[in-house]
């Protein structure tokens, strides 16, 4: 039982490049989330999903897109990376059935130059 995994762990992009971050969970959770963590800002919600095929915007969705084609996977896309997107990205999941605990992945450190 791996819990929540994220791919890749590190990435360096040049401004304007695109990439996709992959999150996978093996706990059969309905809810999945993407956060970014910046110094002094805590964790801010980018997008989330309440089930397969659904997505919704969080606090800071601009510049990102997401897809949840399979229940176990939640993809975060950057179409045209900007230096302001340099951050550590965390994926999380929760059951959505009364247990409010979120389970987090180990994070992806992204640098945009």
Partner 1 sequence: DQQVKQNSPSLSVQEGRISILNCDYTNSMFDYFLWYKKYPAEGPTFLISISSIKDKNEDGRFTVFLNKSAKHLSLHIVPSQPGDSAVYFCAASNSGTYKYIFGTGTRLKVLA
Backbone angles phi, psi at 108, to 5 degrees: -125, 125
Contact yes or no for 38/45 (Cβ under 8 A): no
CB 92 within 8 A of CB 35: yes
Instruction: Pick out residues in 31-90 that bind partner 1 (CB under 8 A).
Output: 31, 33, 35, 40-45, 48, 50, 58-59, 90
Shortest distance (Å) from residue 107 CB to partner 1? 6
Task: Assess 110 for contact with partner 1 (CB under 8 A).
Answer: no
What is d(CA 64, CA 45) in angstroms, rounded to the nearest whole number? 11
Binding site for partner 1 (CB under 8 A): 4, 31, 33, 35, 40-45, 48, 50, 58-59, 90, 92, 94, 96, 100-107
């Amino acid at each position: 039982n791996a819990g929540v995994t994220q791919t890749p762990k590190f990435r360096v992009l040049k401004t304007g490049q695109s990439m996709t971050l992959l999150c996978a969970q093996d706990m059969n959770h309905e809810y999945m989330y993407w956060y970014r963590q910046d110094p002094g800002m805590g964790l801010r919600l980018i997008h989330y999903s309440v089930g397969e095929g659904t997505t919704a915007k969080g606090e800071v969705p601009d510049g990102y897109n997401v897809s949840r084609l399979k229940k176990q996977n939640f993809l975060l896309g950057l179409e045209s990376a900007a230096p302001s997107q340099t951050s550590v990205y965390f994926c999380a999941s929760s059951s959505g059935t009364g247990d409010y605990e979120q389970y987090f992945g180990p994070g992806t450190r992204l640098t945009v130059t």
